[in-house]
Amino acid sequence: KNLPGKFTTLISSMCIKRTLNLRYT
């Protein structure tokens, strides 16, 4: 399965934001 670059970037950025929120909360 090949995902579009934008979709993959969107998912990864959301995951990064979530992990950052968990760390700094």
CB neighbour list of residue 23: distance below 8 Å, 6 or more residues apart: none
CB neighbour list of residue 2: distance below 8 Å, 6 or more residues apart: none
Q: What is the pLDDT of residue 4?
A: 82
Q: What is the pLDDT of residue 1?
A: 60
Q: What is the pLDDT of residue 17?
A: 94
Q: Structurally, how many domains does the chain consist of?
A: 1
Global pTM reads 0.52
pLDDT digits (tens, 9 = 90+) for 1-25: 666 889 999 999 999 999 998 887 6
Beta strands in the chain (DSSP E): none
Q: Which domain holds residue 25?
A: 1-25
